[in-house]
Structure 1
């Protein structure tokens, strides 16, 4: 596996995670706007925009999954797991859509299950009142 996938997934996940916490954005708006911007950048730089934008978009799935429930450790762990799953599931599933959805679901589900079983997690700041 090349280093591009984990870096793109981490970038997409963290940008979406932090943008979704902004008052004017929710997870869907953050994911869609960042994915469009990423595709335009990859197209302008001639960096295989179809593949890299799909990988980035998959990372935004992780970032928008639960920005108020998970911390940065869980987002990072899910992102790395997503990039590994995506790399192995794309050849086995027909098209990118199935690989994106199942990889994002499994990576977040596995990390959430680990948290429920007692895995360490990042501390969230207390809610602002």
Structure 2
């Protein structure tokens, strides 16, 4: 489960006593061996260099980040080579809240990034 604000982390830990954080010892090994049911992390802490695909296949965004890079990188900790299950990404959102605006902004940023990459690839192919 990914959170954006410290107070969200506190709320999650209060509700889910069994939750493990990235500060806990040996969390990577315990997660990837299936010993941890719920791992919570901030996307900036879980965004790069972690291989967590063996321990689960469900991502829950408790609070979204405005950063497309952090969003994509955090999702890529689970949705990556070596994942043996379909990855499911849930977003907890309430109607008429900032969460919906953030999610829409992330979608727009991702679309813009994809279109830019297509244009660059087309230009490179044209000049080969």
TM-score band w.r.t. shorter chain: 0.3 to 0.5
Greater per-residue helix proportion: 1
TM-score if structure 1 supplies the norm length?
0.32
TM-score if structure 2 supplies the norm length?
0.32
Higher Cα Rg, which structure: 2
Greater per-residue strand proportion: 2
